[in-house]
Amino acid sequence: MSQDIKERTFNFGVRIITLSNHLPDTKSGTVLGNQVLRSGTSIGANVEEGVASYSRDEFIYKMNIGLKEARETHYWLRLMKTSKLMKPGRFDEIIKEADEIKKILGAIVSKSRGKSKK
């Protein structure tokens, strides 16, 4: 397991916390902020749990949950950008990072599943 994905998902969680603290104090800002805060910080937690797994199956399971949370986070971020909760440009980098994390976790899950079938 790459130290990079652990650090990357941790740093992403910090960015999500910062973003959620700057969302407008509106009903949609609160609801969407809570959604992205839960899913965005869960990614790194699942990666950490996956690294500490007792078995390959448990590792795959935790990484897959992290992947699902990354997909959900990517959705919420795109929704916030499109609905113009804040200046759309503020979302570009974090949406890009969410997409890259999805791809990395997808590759980890896919490669690990392939190894477990051999």
Q: Which domains does the chain have, with CATH numbers?
A: 3-117 (1.20.1440.60)
How far is it between the farthest Cα atoms of the chain? 52
Q: What letter represents residue 23's amino acid? A: L
Q: Is 55 helix (H, G, I), strand (E, B) or coil?
A: coil
pLDDT score of 75: 98
pLDDT score of 3: 52
pLDDT score of 87: 86
Global pTM exceeds 0.85: yes
Dist. CA 55–CA 118, nearest whole Å: 15
Contact 51, 7 (CB under 8 A): no
pLDDT score of 89: 86
pLDDT in tens, 53-102: 999 999 999 999 999 999 999 999 999 999 998 887 889 999 999 999 99
Q: What's the whole-number mean pLDDT along residues 38-45?
A: 98
pLDDT score of 114: 86
